[in-house]
C-alpha cells in the first residue's frame, strides 16, 4: 500500500476524493449531455495525428491534448507545469460522459491549457502506462476505473489522482474545476512538498514493482483444492456466477473450476459452472439476436448489461462455452455432436466474423455501449415497437419468450431524457411448443432485419496483437472441437494478418497495435504471451509445422525481452520502453488474464510439445515467484492456477502420425479435441516437436499414440477408441 504523505495529505484535505468514480460497474448517476457540437472542428489538438480511435475522439476538444510521449514531457519540464494524465478507451461510457461534461467545455479547456500539460492515453494501446498509474490510484484511494485521471510531476511521477470527476459540486463531490484550481494552488505554493511526496511515492512504487525473489513455498494439489473451495463459496445458486451485482463473467475463474472439477471429481463444481453458463446465455448480457456478450451485468441476474462488447471477453467466453460443451457431453453421456453450449460458442464466433473482423483477417477491439447518445438504444425494444412489427401470433410468442413488458426493464440514467419502456431481450421462458417454434424463428428474423437498419454503436477498429491472440485461440479451438472449416479459415487468416502487419521476423519483434495502415512501436508482454497461446492452439488444431515454428519464435523473443532471469516472472514492458517511470509485473487475472499467467501456461504447453527445458524453466520460476499469491490470494490469479494444474503431473501427449490432408487424420484430430482433458497437448510427428514423437510412425494410414513420458498406449486408428482412452 502506498501511503499518502506530505503534500498529498494536503491535497486530500483540500479535494474530496469521493469525486472519483470507482469503476465502470458502479451504479450510474444521472448526468447531462453536452450540446457542444465538436463536428465544427473549432479546435484541433495534437491528437489529430494519432491512430487510436479513443485519442481521435478527443482531437477536437478545446483541451490542448498531447499523446503520451517526449513532446509532452519536454513541454512540462520546460514550463515546470504539472501533467494532467487522462486514461480511457473509446467504448468507455463514463469516458464519454466526462468528455461531454468537461473536456468539451471552453472554460475548463482554457484553464487546463494555462496551468497543465494535458495527455490522453488509450489504455488498450498502452496497458503498461495504465497499469502504473492505476496502481497508484488504487493504492491511494482504494478503488480504480476509467476514466483514470492522474496528476504528475514533469518527470511523470504521480502525486494525486482519481477516476470520474463531475463538472460541478454534486453528490457530495467537488467539481472537476475546483480540483484543478486547488491542485494549481498547491503546486504553486507548496511545490517542494508536492515533488518530495511524488519522489517518496515513486520510491515505494519501485520497491513494490520489484516483487520478491522466489521462496521455498511448495505448490501442490492442495493449493488448487483450497482455491476451488474459495471460488465455490462465492457461487450464486439462484442466478449462477460468483458474487453479487455487478456481475462480470471473468471467464478464467469458471474455466479453472472446470479443471478443478475434473481433477478432484467434484460434480458440484462442474454443475456450478454449467449453471452459470446457462444463466449467462439466457440473460441480457448475451445479445439474443446478434450473438456476442456485453462486458458485464449491472444486476445479479445477468439481465441488464453495460452494453459495450469487448473482443477479449468474447474470446474467453467462446473458450469457456467450448469447455462447457465438452463437460456437458461427458456429464450427460451424450454422444451427439452439439450441445446448447456449442451453439452459444458458435453465436459468439459468428458475431465476431460478421461485425468485428477486418477484411484481411484482423479482429477489431470493441463496440460501444452508446448509439445516438443513448446507452443500449441499438439493442432495446418497446412493447409498441414489437406489436407493430410482428403478427399477433409472433408477438405473443416473442413477448413470452423474451419477457417483453410495457414498462420495460431498462432505463438509461446517463441521459437527461431517457427513452421510455425499453426492454433488454433475455430468455425468460425458454420452452417453446413445437407449433410455436416457426413463429419464434419468424419473429427473430423480422427483429434482426429491423435492428440491422438502426445506427450501430461506435466500432473501435484498432487491431491489437494481444486481444487477437485470445480470439485466434478461440477460433482455432472451435475448429478443432466443432469441426467447422470456416473457423479454421478465420484462424489461419488472422495469424497471416498478424505476421504481415505486426511481426518483424528479422528482429523477432511483435508490435502491439495496427490501424488504418500503420502499426505502433510498442512491445508488451501480453501481446507476445496471448499470441503465443493462440498460435499454440492453432498448431494443436491443425498440426501444421509452420505454426509450431512461429510459436517457438514468439516464445524465444518473449523470454529474451521480458523474462526476469534473477527472480522469475515477466515484466509487462520491454527494457527498451524509456517512456515509463518503472517496469512492473502484471499479477492479476481479471477481465483479461495477466501476461504472466498466460505466458506461464503457454510455455509449459510448448515445452511439452518440444521438450525444450529453456521454455519449461522460466515457467517453473514464474510459478515459484507467484507461489505466495497462488496460496494466499488465489481469487486474484485463477488463470495461473490453471498453469499450476497443468504441471502437477506429466502432461499426456496425443501424437497423431499420418497424412495431414487425409480424412482419417482429421477424424483422429477432431477426436483428440472432443474430450474435456485440459492437461494434454496434441502434436504431430514432424517439424520441431520433441524427439520421441518424431520416432512414432504412421501405420497403413493415420494413427494416434497416447503417450506419457517415453511410454505410449498401443497406436490406434479408431477415433471412437481414442475418445475412450482420453476419458
- Spatial distance between the Cα atoms of 534 and 544, rounded to a whole number of angstroms: 14
Write down how long the chain is: 727
285 within 8 A of 276, measured Cβ to Cβ = no
- Spatial distance between the Cα atoms of 4 and 15, rounded to a whole number of angstroms: 14
Of 223, 247, 225, 221, nearest to 235 by C-alpha is 247
Q: Residue 371's beta-bridge partner residues?
A: 374
pLDDT at 415: 80
pLDDT at 710: 85
Angle (CA) 376-255-238 rounded to 5° is: 60
- Going 146 to 149 to 150 to 156, the CA torsion angle's sign is positive
Q: What is the DSSP letter of 254?
A: H
Of the candidate ranges 169-183, 401-415, 572-586, the one whose mean pLDDT is the lowest: 169-183
Of the candidate ranges 7-16, 209-218, 507-516, the one whose mean pLDDT is the lowest: 7-16
Assess whether pLDDT exceeds 60 at residue 10.
no
450 within 8 A of 511, measured Cβ to Cβ = no
Higher pLDDT, 374 or 26: 374
The set of residues, in sequence order, having a beta carbon less than 8 Å from that of 462 and lying 6+ positions away, is 51, 52, 53, 124, 125, 364, 365, 513, 514, 515
pLDDT at 717: 94
Grid look-up 456466477 returns 241
CATH code of 221-368+461-647, in short, is: 1.50.10.10
Average pLDDT over residues 248-267: 96
Percent of the chain at pLDDT > 70 equals 93
pLDDT at 412: 86
Q: What is the DSSP letter of 218?
A: P
The set of residues, in sequence order, having a beta carbon less than 8 Å from that of 41 and lying 6+ positions away, is 60
Supply the Cα-derived Rg of the chain in whole angstroms.
26
Assess whether pLDDT exceeds 80 at residue 242.
yes
Q: How confident is the model at residue 172 (pLDDT cuts 50, 70, 90)?
A: low
Q: How confident is the model at residue 576 (pLDDT cuts 50, 70, 90)?
A: confident
Which SS3 state, helix, strand or coil, does residue 622 take? helix
Instruction: Please state, as a whole number, how many other Cβ atoms lie within 10 Å of the Cβ of residue 5.
Output: 14
pLDDT at 183: 96
Of the candidate ranges 55-59, 300-304, 457-461, 723-727, the one whose mean pLDDT is the lowest: 723-727
Average pLDDT over residues 297-308: 95
Residue 423 φ then ψ, to 5°? -115, 125
pLDDT at 169: 82
Write the DSSP string, 632-645: H-GGG-HHHHHHHH
Average pLDDT over residues 579-600: 95
* Burial 564-588, CB ≥16 within 10 A → b, else e: beebbbbbbbbeebeebbbbbbbbb
Instruction: Please state, as a whole number, how many other Cβ atoms lie within 10 Å of the Cβ of residue 336.
Output: 8
Write the DSSP string, 644-679: HHHHSSPPEEEEEES-TTSHHHHHHHHHHTSS---S
Assess whether pLDDT exceeds 90 at residue 395.
yes
Angle (CA) 483-667-494 rounded to 5° is: 40
Q: pLDDT tens for residues 657-671?
A: 999 889 999 999 999
> What CATH class has 652-726?
alpha beta
Of the candidate ranges 20-34, 119-133, 477-491, the one whose mean pLDDT is the lowest: 20-34
pLDDT at 28: 33
Distances 439 to 15, 395, 506 between C-alpha atoms, Å: 59, 9, 58
pLDDT at 336: 54
Q: What is the mean pLDDT of the chain?
A: 91
Domain ranges of the chain: 7-210, 221-368+461-647, 370-456, 652-726
Of 464, 546, 525, nearest to 498 by C-alpha is 464
pLDDT at 40: 60
Cell output for 619: 515457467
- Spatial distance between the Cα atoms of 237 and 157, rounded to a whole number of angstroms: 46
Residue 63 φ then ψ, to 5°? -65, 130
Assess whether pLDDT exceeds 70 at residue 684.
yes
At the topology level of CATH, where does 7-210 sit? Answer: Glutaredoxin (3.40.30)
Write the DSSP string, 129-195: HHHHHHHHHHHHHS---SSEEEEE-TTS-EEEEES---SSSBTTB--HHHHHHHHHHHHHHSHHHHH
Q: How confident is the model at residue 5 (pLDDT cuts 50, 70, 90)?
A: very low
The set of residues, in sequence order, having a beta carbon less than 8 Å from that of 451 and lying 6+ positions away, is 289, 290, 378, 379
Assess whether pLDDT exceeds 90 at residue 540.
yes
Cell output for 328: 456437458
pLDDT at 38: 40
Assess whether pLDDT exceeds 50 at residue 21.
no
Q: Identical fold at 7-210 and 652-726?
A: yes
Of the candidate ranges 211-215, 361-365, 585-589, the one whose mean pLDDT is the lowest: 211-215
Q: What is the DSSP letter of 236?
A: -
Q: pLDDT tens for residues 27-85?
A: 333 333 333 434 567 899 999 999 999 999 999 999 999 999 999 999 999 999 999 99
Q: How confident is the model at residue 171 (pLDDT cuts 50, 70, 90)?
A: low
Q: Residue 284's beta-bridge partner residues?
A: none
Q: How confident is the model at residue 207 (pLDDT cuts 50, 70, 90)?
A: confident
pLDDT at 31: 33
Of 518, 548, 501, 500, nearest to 685 by C-alpha is 548
Residue 83 φ then ψ, to 5°? -95, 130
Amino acid at each position: 500500500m502506498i501511503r499518502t504523505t506530505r503534500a498529498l495529505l494536503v491535497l486530500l484535505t483540500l479535494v474530496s476524493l469521493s469525486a472519483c468514480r470507482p469503476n465502470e460497474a458502479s451504479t450510474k448517476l444521472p448526468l447531462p449531455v453536452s450540446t457542444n457540437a465538436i463536428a465544427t472542428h473549432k479546435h484541433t489538438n495534437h491528437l489529430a495525428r494519432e491512430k487510436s480511435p479513443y485519442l481521435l475522439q478527443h482531437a477536437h476538444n478545446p483541451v490542448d491534448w498531447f499523446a503520451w510521449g517526449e513532446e509532452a514531457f519536454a513541454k512540462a519540464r520546460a514550463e515546470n507545469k504539472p501533467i494532467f494524465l487522462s486514461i480511457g478507451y473509446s467504448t468507455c461510457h463514463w469516458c464519454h460522459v466526462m468528455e461531454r461534461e468537461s473536456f468539451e467545455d471552453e472554460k475548463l479547456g482554457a484553464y487546463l491549457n494555462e496551468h497543465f500539460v494535458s495527455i490522453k492515453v488509450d489504455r488498450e494501446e498502452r496497458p503498461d502506462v495504465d497499469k502504473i498509474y492505476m496502481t497508484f490510484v488504487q493504492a491511494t484511494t482504494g478503488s480504480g476505473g476509467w476514466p483514470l485521471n492522474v496528476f504528475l510531476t514533469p518527470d511523470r511521477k504521480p502525486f494525486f489522482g482519481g477516476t470520474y470527476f463531475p463538472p460541478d459540486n454534486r453528490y457530495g463531490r467537488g467539481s472537476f474545476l475546483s480540483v484543478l484550481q486547488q491542485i494549481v494552488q498547491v503546486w504553486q505554493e507548496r511545490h517542494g512538498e508536492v515533488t518530495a511526496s511524488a519522489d517518496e511515492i515513486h520510491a515505494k512504487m519501485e520497491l513494490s514493482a520489484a516483487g520478491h525473489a522466489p521462496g521455498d513455498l511448495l505448490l501442490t494439489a492442495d493449493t488448487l483444492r483450497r482455491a476451488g473451495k474459495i471460488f465455490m463459496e462465492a457461487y450464486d445458486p439462484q442466478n449462477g456466477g460468483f458474487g453479487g451485482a455487478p456481475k462480470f463473467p471473468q471467464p478464467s475463474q469458471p474455466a479453472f473450476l472446470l479443471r478443478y472439477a475434473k481433477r478432484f471429481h467434484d460434480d458440484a463444481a462442474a454443475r456450478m459452472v454449467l449453471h452459470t453458463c446457462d444463466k449467462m446465455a439466457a440473460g441480457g448480457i448475451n445479445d439474443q439476436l446478434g450473438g456476442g456478450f456485453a462486458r458485464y451485468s449491472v444486476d445479479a441476474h445477468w439481465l441488464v448489461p453495460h452494453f459495450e462488447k469487448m473482443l477479449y471477453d468474447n474470446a474467453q467466453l467462446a473458450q469457456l462455452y467450448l469447455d462447457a460443451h465438452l463437460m456437458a457431453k461427458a456429464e450427460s453421456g451424450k454422444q451427439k455432436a452439439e450441445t446448447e453450449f456449442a451453439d452459444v460458442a458458435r453465436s459468439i464466433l459468428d458475431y465476431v466474423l460478421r461485425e468485428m473482423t477486418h477484411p484481411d483477417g484482423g479482429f477489431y477491439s470493441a463496440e460501444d455501449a452508446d448509439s445516438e447518445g443513448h446507452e443500449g438504444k441499438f439493442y432495446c425494444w418497446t412493447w409498441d415497437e414489437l406489436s407493430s412489427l410482428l403478427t399477433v401470433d409472433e408477438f405473443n410468442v416473442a413477448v413470452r419468450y423474451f419477457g417483453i413488458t410495457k414498462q420495460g426493464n431498462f432505463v438509461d440514467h446517463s441521459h437527461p431524457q431517457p427513452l421510455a419502456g425499453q426492454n433488454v431481450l433475455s430468455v425468460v421462458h425458454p420452452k417453446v411448443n413445437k407449433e410455436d417454434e416457426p413463429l419464434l424463428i419468424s419473429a427473430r428474423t423480422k427483429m434482426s432485419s429491423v435492428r440491422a437498419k438502426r445506427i450501430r454503436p461506435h466500432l473501435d477498429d484498432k487491431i491489437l496483437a494481444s486481444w487477437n491472440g485470445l480470439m485466434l485461440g478461440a477460433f482455432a479451438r472451435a475448429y478443432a472441437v466443432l469441426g467447422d472449416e470456416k473457423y479454421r479459415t478465420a484462424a489461419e487468416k488472422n495469424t497471416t494478418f498478424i505476421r504481415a502487419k505486426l511481426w518483424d521476423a528479422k528482429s523477432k519483434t511483435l508490435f502491439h497495435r495496427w490501424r488504418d495502415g500503420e502499426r505502433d512501436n510498442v512491445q508488451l508482454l501480453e501481446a507476445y504471451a496471448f499470441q503465443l497461446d493462440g498460435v499454440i492452439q492453432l498448431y494443436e488444431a491443425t498440426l501444421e509445422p509452420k505454426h509450431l515454428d512461429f510459436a517457438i519464435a514468439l516464445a524465444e523473443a518473449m523470454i529474451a525481452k521480458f523474462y526476469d532471469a534473477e527472480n522469475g516472472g515477466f515484466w509487462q514492458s520491454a527494457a527498451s520502453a524509456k517512456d515509463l517511470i518503472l517496469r512492473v509485473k502484471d499479477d492479476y487475472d481479471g477481465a483479461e488474464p495477466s501476461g504472466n499467467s498466460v505466458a506461464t501456461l503457454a510455455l509449459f504447453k510448448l515445452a511439452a510439445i518440444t521438450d525444450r527445458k529453456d521454455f519449461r524453466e522460466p515457467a517453473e520460476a514464474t510459478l515459484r515467484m507467484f507461489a505466495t499469491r497462488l496460496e494466499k490470494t488465489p481469487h486474484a490469479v485463477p488463470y495461473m492456477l490453471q498453469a499450476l494444474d497443468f504441471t502437477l503431473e506429466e502432461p499426456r501427449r496425443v501424437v497423431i502420425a499420418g497424412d495431414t490432408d487425409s480424412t482419417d487424420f482429421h477424424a483422429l484430430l477432431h477426436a483428440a479435441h472432443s474430450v474435456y482433458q485440459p492437461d494434454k497437448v496434441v502434436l504431430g510427428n514432424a517439424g520441431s516437436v520433441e524427439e520421441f514423437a518424431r520416432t512414432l510412425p504412421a501405420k497403413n494410414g493415420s494413427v494416434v499414440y497416447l503417450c506419457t513420458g517415453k511410454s505410449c498406449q498401443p497406436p490406434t486408428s479408431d477415433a471412437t477408441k481414442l475418445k475412450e482412452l482420453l476419458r
